[in-house]
Amino acid sequence: MKIEAKTQTYQTYIPSRDERDEAKEILAKVRKSKDVLAALGGEAKRNSKKVKKIFHAFEELLKVFASGQDLVIASKGREMTTQEAADFLNVSRPFVVSLIEEGKLPASTVGTHRRLLLDDVLVFREASMRKQRSAIDHLVREAQDLKLGYEE
């Protein structure tokens, strides 16, 4: 899934259990041989669906590096500060704090600092995007019904 923000692009890769298991095997082979293609099974397996997905992830990683953009790789159980969550959602930190206070975004407190789970931030982002898409679809339908130049 690819999410466009004002200045950043976030991509989420969620591997299946089989893909995780295979990735563990590949990682062990890469660490041992230092040859990624050989660890993936050589040219013979290069066109397999799982290997293509891994190469696509590598390709995306290299694109980010080549463009000079920042890259963030985080596990889903990772905790985030309110500022990190705000940066990820492309909103202000006070807005994230207000979402927490309104109960719209779960958070825990460590001392006086709030912490959010990346999982919760991802769920919130997806729900927000669904809501935005629905509102846009509704506006387009209304504009079409009113014949405002948005006809199909």
Ordered domains of the chain (ranges, CATH) = 2-67 (no CATH), 79-145 (1.10.1660.10)
Residues in the chain: 152
DSSP tag of 137: H
* 75 residue type, one letter: S
Task: Average the pLDDT over 109-137 and give the result.
Answer: 91
According to DSSP, the residues that pair with 106 across neighbouring strands are: none
104: tokens are: 């719209």
Tens of pLDDT along 39-97?
A: 566 655 656 776 777 777 777 776 766 666 656 676 767 888 999 899 889 899 999 99
Asked if 105 contacts 96 with a C-beta cutoff of 8 angstroms, the reply is yes
Q: Which has more confidence, 136 or 18?
A: 136
38: tokens are: 């050989």
pLDDT above 50: residue 117: yes
